[in-house]
Amino acid sequence: MTCQMSEETTRAGENGRPGFLHRVGHLGATVGRQAPKKKSTRLIIQGGIALLIFGFLVLTVVSQWSELRDQGVAFNLIWLIPGAVAMLLYYMLTAATWGLILRLLDHPVTPAEAQRIWAQPLLVRYIPGSVLFVLARILLAEKVGVPRRVSTAGIVYEQAVSIAAALSIATWFLIAHPDTQGLWIRWLPILIIPVMVAFLHPRIFGPLTAKILTALGRDPLPNTMAFRAVLTIYVLYLGLWAIMGIGAFFAARSVYDVGLAEFPIVAASQVIGFLAAVISAVTPAGLGVRDAAFAWAVKAALPSGSFGVGAAIAIAVRAAQTVVELIYVGGVTFLARRRRRLDESLGELVAEAEAAEAEAAEAAESSSR
Protein backbone atom coordinates (compact mmCIF):
# COMPACT_ATOMS: atom_id res chain seq x y z
CA MET A 1 0.00 0.00 0.00
CA THR A 2 2.86 2.38 0.91
CA CYS A 3 4.69 1.53 -2.29
CA GLN A 4 1.52 2.19 -4.28
CA MET A 5 1.11 5.62 -2.65
CA SER A 6 4.75 6.42 -3.32
CA GLU A 7 4.39 5.43 -6.98
CA GLU A 8 1.25 7.53 -7.36
CA THR A 9 2.86 10.52 -5.63
CA THR A 10 6.05 10.46 -7.69
CA ARG A 11 4.58 9.25 -11.00
CA ALA A 12 5.81 11.21 -14.00
CA GLY A 13 3.40 13.58 -15.66
CA GLU A 14 2.10 13.41 -19.19
CA ASN A 15 5.22 15.05 -20.53
CA GLY A 16 7.46 12.47 -18.84
CA ARG A 17 8.89 14.80 -16.21
CA PRO A 18 9.58 13.47 -12.66
CA GLY A 19 6.92 13.93 -10.00
CA PHE A 20 6.95 16.83 -7.56
CA LEU A 21 8.46 14.93 -4.61
CA HIS A 22 11.21 13.49 -6.81
CA ARG A 23 12.08 17.01 -7.93
CA VAL A 24 12.21 18.12 -4.27
CA GLY A 25 14.46 15.17 -3.41
CA HIS A 26 16.73 15.93 -6.38
CA LEU A 27 16.96 19.56 -5.26
CA GLY A 28 17.98 18.48 -1.75
CA ALA A 29 20.64 16.17 -3.15
CA THR A 30 22.16 18.75 -5.51
CA VAL A 31 21.66 22.12 -3.81
CA GLY A 32 24.91 23.69 -2.74
CA ARG A 33 26.83 22.53 -5.79
CA GLN A 34 25.66 25.64 -7.61
CA ALA A 35 25.39 29.19 -6.32
CA PRO A 36 21.98 29.67 -4.66
CA LYS A 37 19.59 32.35 -5.93
CA LYS A 38 19.15 35.45 -3.79
CA LYS A 39 15.91 35.98 -1.88
CA SER A 40 16.53 39.53 -0.73
CA THR A 41 12.95 40.36 0.23
CA ARG A 42 12.63 37.43 2.61
CA LEU A 43 16.04 38.12 4.13
CA ILE A 44 15.18 41.78 4.71
CA ILE A 45 11.88 40.89 6.38
CA GLN A 46 13.45 38.24 8.63
CA GLY A 47 16.40 40.43 9.53
CA GLY A 48 14.06 43.35 10.14
CA ILE A 49 11.98 41.34 12.61
CA ALA A 50 15.12 40.32 14.51
CA LEU A 51 16.45 43.87 14.69
CA LEU A 52 13.04 45.21 15.69
CA ILE A 53 12.69 42.85 18.65
CA PHE A 54 16.31 43.16 19.75
CA GLY A 55 16.13 46.92 19.27
CA PHE A 56 13.11 47.00 21.58
CA LEU A 57 15.17 45.32 24.30
CA VAL A 58 18.03 47.79 23.85
CA LEU A 59 15.58 50.69 23.89
CA THR A 60 14.05 49.35 27.11
CA VAL A 61 17.45 49.31 28.79
CA VAL A 62 18.47 52.74 27.47
CA SER A 63 15.19 54.45 28.38
CA GLN A 64 15.22 52.97 31.89
CA TRP A 65 18.96 53.19 32.50
CA SER A 66 18.81 55.51 35.52
CA GLU A 67 16.13 53.37 37.12
CA LEU A 68 18.08 50.20 36.33
CA ARG A 69 21.19 51.62 37.98
CA ASP A 70 19.14 52.29 41.10
CA GLN A 71 18.04 48.65 41.03
CA GLY A 72 21.64 47.43 41.01
CA VAL A 73 22.53 47.08 37.32
CA ALA A 74 26.27 47.67 36.96
CA PHE A 75 28.99 46.15 34.81
CA ASN A 76 31.57 43.89 36.40
CA LEU A 77 33.43 42.29 33.52
CA ILE A 78 35.51 39.93 35.70
CA TRP A 79 32.48 37.61 35.90
CA LEU A 80 32.54 37.21 32.14
CA ILE A 81 35.74 35.14 32.31
CA PRO A 82 34.25 32.01 33.94
CA GLY A 83 31.10 32.55 31.88
CA ALA A 84 33.09 32.57 28.63
CA VAL A 85 35.01 29.44 29.68
CA ALA A 86 31.74 27.58 30.39
CA MET A 87 30.24 28.68 27.07
CA LEU A 88 33.36 27.68 25.16
CA LEU A 89 33.27 24.27 26.84
CA TYR A 90 29.60 23.96 25.84
CA TYR A 91 30.42 24.54 22.16
CA MET A 92 33.33 22.12 22.14
CA LEU A 93 31.38 19.35 23.86
CA THR A 94 28.33 19.90 21.65
CA ALA A 95 30.52 19.49 18.56
CA ALA A 96 31.96 16.32 20.09
CA THR A 97 28.41 15.06 20.66
CA TRP A 98 27.68 15.72 16.98
CA GLY A 99 30.68 13.55 16.14
CA LEU A 100 29.31 10.84 18.43
CA ILE A 101 25.96 10.95 16.61
CA LEU A 102 27.69 10.41 13.27
CA ARG A 103 29.67 7.53 14.78
CA LEU A 104 26.45 5.95 16.06
CA LEU A 105 25.09 6.25 12.52
CA ASP A 106 28.16 4.27 11.32
CA HIS A 107 29.77 7.25 9.56
CA PRO A 108 32.48 8.31 12.01
CA VAL A 109 34.61 11.41 11.52
CA THR A 110 37.73 12.45 13.39
CA PRO A 111 37.35 14.69 16.47
CA ALA A 112 38.95 17.58 14.55
CA GLU A 113 36.55 17.11 11.63
CA ALA A 114 33.56 17.01 14.01
CA GLN A 115 34.64 20.33 15.54
CA ARG A 116 35.10 21.93 12.12
CA ILE A 117 31.82 20.62 10.65
CA TRP A 118 29.85 21.80 13.66
CA ALA A 119 31.68 25.08 14.29
CA GLN A 120 32.07 26.75 10.93
CA PRO A 121 28.33 26.98 10.08
CA LEU A 122 27.59 28.61 13.47
CA LEU A 123 27.97 32.16 12.17
CA VAL A 124 25.70 31.34 9.22
CA ARG A 125 22.82 31.34 11.71
CA TYR A 126 23.06 35.13 11.83
CA ILE A 127 22.10 35.27 8.15
CA PRO A 128 18.29 35.23 7.90
CA GLY A 129 17.09 31.80 6.74
CA SER A 130 18.04 28.92 9.04
CA VAL A 131 18.17 26.53 6.06
CA LEU A 132 21.60 27.91 5.19
CA PHE A 133 22.91 26.85 8.59
CA VAL A 134 21.70 23.28 8.08
CA LEU A 135 22.88 23.15 4.47
CA ALA A 136 26.37 24.40 5.36
CA ARG A 137 26.84 21.58 7.87
CA ILE A 138 25.55 18.98 5.41
CA LEU A 139 27.98 20.19 2.74
CA LEU A 140 30.95 20.17 5.13
CA ALA A 141 30.07 16.65 6.28
CA GLU A 142 29.76 15.49 2.67
CA LYS A 143 33.32 16.65 1.97
CA VAL A 144 34.64 14.14 4.53
CA GLY A 145 32.54 11.27 3.20
CA VAL A 146 29.27 11.53 5.14
CA PRO A 147 26.27 11.08 2.80
CA ARG A 148 23.76 13.91 2.84
CA ARG A 149 20.89 11.76 4.03
CA VAL A 150 23.00 10.51 6.96
CA SER A 151 24.10 13.98 8.07
CA THR A 152 20.50 15.17 7.68
CA ALA A 153 19.31 12.33 9.91
CA GLY A 154 22.05 13.25 12.38
CA ILE A 155 20.79 16.83 12.49
CA VAL A 156 17.23 15.56 13.09
CA TYR A 157 18.49 13.43 15.98
CA GLU A 158 20.53 16.33 17.36
CA GLN A 159 17.75 18.90 17.20
CA ALA A 160 15.02 16.59 18.51
CA VAL A 161 17.09 15.35 21.44
CA SER A 162 18.40 18.81 22.34
CA ILE A 163 14.84 20.21 22.29
CA ALA A 164 13.59 17.31 24.43
CA ALA A 165 16.42 17.89 26.93
CA ALA A 166 15.72 21.64 26.95
CA LEU A 167 12.03 20.98 27.59
CA SER A 168 12.95 18.65 30.44
CA ILE A 169 14.88 21.45 32.14
CA ALA A 170 12.30 24.11 31.36
CA THR A 171 9.18 22.14 32.33
CA TRP A 172 9.27 22.76 36.07
CA PHE A 173 10.06 26.43 35.49
CA LEU A 174 7.20 26.97 33.03
CA ILE A 175 4.75 25.29 35.41
CA ALA A 176 5.87 27.35 38.41
CA HIS A 177 6.44 30.73 36.69
CA PRO A 178 4.09 33.41 38.10
CA ASP A 179 3.04 34.59 34.63
CA THR A 180 1.86 31.12 33.54
CA GLN A 181 -0.42 30.39 36.47
CA GLY A 182 -3.90 29.54 35.23
CA LEU A 183 -2.71 28.77 31.67
CA TRP A 184 -3.28 25.17 30.57
CA ILE A 185 -0.48 25.34 27.98
CA ARG A 186 2.12 25.28 30.78
CA TRP A 187 1.49 21.53 31.05
CA LEU A 188 2.21 20.82 27.38
CA PRO A 189 5.94 20.04 27.82
CA ILE A 190 5.06 17.05 30.02
CA LEU A 191 3.22 15.57 27.03
CA ILE A 192 5.64 16.69 24.34
CA ILE A 193 8.86 15.28 25.87
CA PRO A 194 7.91 11.55 25.78
CA VAL A 195 6.41 11.98 22.31
CA MET A 196 9.64 13.49 20.95
CA VAL A 197 11.83 10.83 22.54
CA ALA A 198 9.52 8.03 21.35
CA PHE A 199 9.64 9.46 17.81
CA LEU A 200 13.37 8.72 17.77
CA HIS A 201 12.86 5.02 18.56
CA PRO A 202 14.24 3.05 15.58
CA ARG A 203 10.92 1.25 15.05
CA ILE A 204 9.29 4.64 14.42
CA PHE A 205 12.11 6.81 13.11
CA GLY A 206 13.43 4.18 10.65
CA PRO A 207 10.19 3.40 8.75
CA LEU A 208 9.09 7.05 8.80
CA THR A 209 12.32 8.39 7.32
CA ALA A 210 12.35 5.52 4.80
CA LYS A 211 8.89 6.56 3.55
CA ILE A 212 9.89 10.22 3.34
CA LEU A 213 13.19 9.53 1.54
CA THR A 214 11.53 7.07 -0.86
CA ALA A 215 8.87 9.66 -1.70
CA LEU A 216 11.66 12.14 -2.38
CA GLY A 217 13.37 9.68 -4.68
CA ARG A 218 16.29 9.10 -2.30
CA ASP A 219 17.66 5.89 -0.83
CA PRO A 220 16.60 5.03 2.76
CA LEU A 221 19.05 5.49 5.62
CA PRO A 222 21.62 2.71 5.86
CA ASN A 223 20.78 2.38 9.56
CA THR A 224 19.36 4.24 12.55
CA MET A 225 20.53 4.85 16.09
CA ALA A 226 19.61 2.28 18.72
CA PHE A 227 17.18 3.62 21.30
CA ARG A 228 19.79 3.16 24.03
CA ALA A 229 22.08 5.45 22.05
CA VAL A 230 19.27 8.02 21.72
CA LEU A 231 18.82 8.00 25.50
CA THR A 232 22.59 8.42 25.91
CA ILE A 233 22.56 11.50 23.68
CA TYR A 234 19.57 12.80 25.64
CA VAL A 235 21.49 12.54 28.94
CA LEU A 236 24.50 14.24 27.33
CA TYR A 237 22.33 17.16 26.24
CA LEU A 238 20.98 17.55 29.73
CA GLY A 239 24.58 18.03 30.84
CA LEU A 240 25.32 20.38 27.93
CA TRP A 241 22.40 22.63 28.80
CA ALA A 242 23.57 22.69 32.40
CA ILE A 243 27.02 23.86 31.24
CA MET A 244 25.48 26.60 29.10
CA GLY A 245 23.37 27.54 32.13
CA ILE A 246 26.57 28.07 34.10
CA GLY A 247 27.87 30.35 31.36
CA ALA A 248 24.62 32.31 31.29
CA PHE A 249 24.67 32.66 35.08
CA PHE A 250 28.14 34.21 35.16
CA ALA A 251 27.29 36.47 32.20
CA ALA A 252 24.19 37.61 34.10
CA ARG A 253 26.33 38.12 37.20
CA SER A 254 28.48 40.56 35.20
CA VAL A 255 25.61 43.08 35.08
CA TYR A 256 23.53 42.26 38.15
CA ASP A 257 24.21 40.74 41.56
CA VAL A 258 22.36 37.46 40.99
CA GLY A 259 22.65 35.14 43.96
CA LEU A 260 23.82 31.54 43.65
CA ALA A 261 20.40 30.41 44.84
CA GLU A 262 18.95 31.85 41.63
CA PHE A 263 21.20 29.74 39.41
CA PRO A 264 18.41 27.24 38.46
CA ILE A 265 16.17 30.09 37.28
CA VAL A 266 18.92 31.74 35.20
CA ALA A 267 19.92 28.39 33.68
CA ALA A 268 16.31 27.54 32.88
CA SER A 269 15.80 31.01 31.39
CA GLN A 270 18.60 30.34 28.91
CA VAL A 271 16.85 27.12 27.86
CA ILE A 272 13.50 28.90 27.52
CA GLY A 273 15.14 31.46 25.26
CA PHE A 274 16.41 28.62 23.08
CA LEU A 275 12.95 27.04 22.88
CA ALA A 276 11.41 30.38 21.94
CA ALA A 277 13.94 30.70 19.10
CA VAL A 278 13.07 27.19 17.92
CA ILE A 279 9.35 27.98 17.91
CA SER A 280 9.83 31.26 16.05
CA ALA A 281 12.20 29.77 13.42
CA VAL A 282 12.13 33.17 11.72
CA THR A 283 14.82 35.42 13.13
CA PRO A 284 18.51 34.67 12.49
CA ALA A 285 20.06 32.82 15.46
CA GLY A 286 16.89 33.61 17.41
CA LEU A 287 18.04 37.22 17.65
CA GLY A 288 15.47 39.24 19.55
CA VAL A 289 12.99 36.42 20.15
CA ARG A 290 15.45 34.39 22.17
CA ASP A 291 16.59 37.41 24.15
CA ALA A 292 13.07 38.64 24.87
CA ALA A 293 12.04 35.20 26.13
CA PHE A 294 15.17 35.05 28.27
CA ALA A 295 14.42 38.50 29.72
CA TRP A 296 10.83 37.47 30.52
CA ALA A 297 11.96 34.25 32.20
CA VAL A 298 14.92 35.60 34.16
CA LYS A 299 12.89 38.38 35.80
CA ALA A 300 11.51 35.66 38.12
CA ALA A 301 14.98 35.61 39.72
CA LEU A 302 14.89 39.35 40.43
CA PRO A 303 13.44 40.83 43.63
CA SER A 304 11.89 43.67 41.63
CA GLY A 305 10.62 41.41 38.85
CA SER A 306 11.71 44.15 36.45
CA PHE A 307 11.65 43.32 32.74
CA GLY A 308 14.15 46.12 32.19
CA VAL A 309 16.73 44.43 34.41
CA GLY A 310 15.92 41.15 32.67
CA ALA A 311 16.54 42.84 29.31
CA ALA A 312 19.94 44.13 30.51
CA ILE A 313 20.86 40.60 31.59
CA ALA A 314 19.64 39.15 28.28
CA ILE A 315 21.75 41.62 26.29
CA ALA A 316 24.82 40.79 28.39
CA VAL A 317 24.31 37.05 27.87
CA ARG A 318 23.79 37.52 24.14
CA ALA A 319 26.93 39.67 23.85
CA ALA A 320 29.02 37.14 25.78
CA GLN A 321 27.68 34.25 23.72
CA THR A 322 28.37 36.02 20.43
CA VAL A 323 31.95 36.86 21.42
CA VAL A 324 32.57 33.25 22.53
CA GLU A 325 31.12 31.97 19.23
CA LEU A 326 33.51 34.20 17.30
CA ILE A 327 36.46 32.97 19.38
CA TYR A 328 35.40 29.33 19.01
CA VAL A 329 34.78 29.46 15.25
CA GLY A 330 37.96 31.45 14.68
CA GLY A 331 40.02 29.03 16.78
CA VAL A 332 38.64 25.93 15.06
CA THR A 333 39.13 27.47 11.61
CA PHE A 334 42.70 28.52 12.42
CA LEU A 335 43.60 25.04 13.70
CA ALA A 336 41.96 23.40 10.69
CA ARG A 337 43.96 25.54 8.27
CA ARG A 338 47.16 24.94 10.22
CA ARG A 339 46.55 21.19 10.17
CA ARG A 340 45.83 21.27 6.43
CA ARG A 341 49.09 23.11 5.78
CA LEU A 342 50.92 20.62 7.98
CA ASP A 343 49.36 17.72 6.07
CA GLU A 344 50.38 19.34 2.78
CA SER A 345 53.94 19.79 4.03
CA LEU A 346 54.08 16.18 5.22
CA GLY A 347 52.70 15.07 1.87
CA GLU A 348 55.44 16.96 0.06
CA LEU A 349 58.10 15.44 2.34
CA VAL A 350 56.73 11.94 1.76
CA ALA A 351 56.68 12.54 -2.00
CA GLU A 352 60.27 13.79 -1.91
CA ALA A 353 61.35 10.81 0.19
CA GLU A 354 59.67 8.38 -2.18
CA ALA A 355 61.28 10.11 -5.17
CA ALA A 356 64.72 9.97 -3.49
CA GLU A 357 64.18 6.31 -2.63
CA ALA A 358 63.23 5.56 -6.23
CA GLU A 359 66.32 7.36 -7.52
CA ALA A 360 68.51 5.49 -5.05
CA ALA A 361 67.02 2.18 -6.13
CA GLU A 362 67.50 3.06 -9.78
CA ALA A 363 71.12 4.10 -9.13
CA ALA A 364 71.80 0.85 -7.26
CA GLU A 365 70.29 -1.16 -10.10
CA SER A 366 72.42 0.72 -12.63
CA SER A 367 75.64 0.15 -10.63
CA SER A 368 74.93 -3.55 -10.30
CA ARG A 369 74.82 -3.84 -14.06
In the 3-class helix/strand/coil scheme, how is 156-208 assigned residue by residue?
Answer: HHHHHHHHHHHHHHHHHHHHHCHHHCCCHHHHHHHHHHHHHHHHCCHHHHHHH
**Residue 6 domain-assigned (yes or no):** no
The residue segments making up the domain with residue 153 are 76-339
At 229, which amino acid appears? Answer: A
Query: How far is it, in rounded angstroms, from Cα 170 to Cα 186?
Result: 10
**Residue 240 domain-assigned (yes or no):** yes
Whole-number Cα distances in Å, 287 to 240, 260, 297:
21, 27, 16
Looking at residue 9, its pLDDT comes to: 42
**Residue 42 domain-assigned (yes or no):** no
**Residue 353 domain-assigned (yes or no):** no
**Residue 234 domain-assigned (yes or no):** yes
**Residue 91 domain-assigned (yes or no):** yes
Looking at residue 22, its pLDDT comes to: 53
Number of domains in the chain: 1
**Residue 52 domain-assigned (yes or no):** no
pLDDT beneath 50: ranges in the chain: 1-14, 31-39, 41-50, 53-54, 56-57, 60-61, 63-68, 71
Looking at residue 93, its pLDDT comes to: 96
Chain-centre distance for alpha carbon 216: 25
Chain-centre distance for alpha carbon 170: 18
For residue 322, give the nearest of 126, 130, 115 by alpha carbon. Answer: 126
**Residue 357 domain-assigned (yes or no):** no
For the chain, state the CA radius of gyration: 25
pTM of the model: 0.73
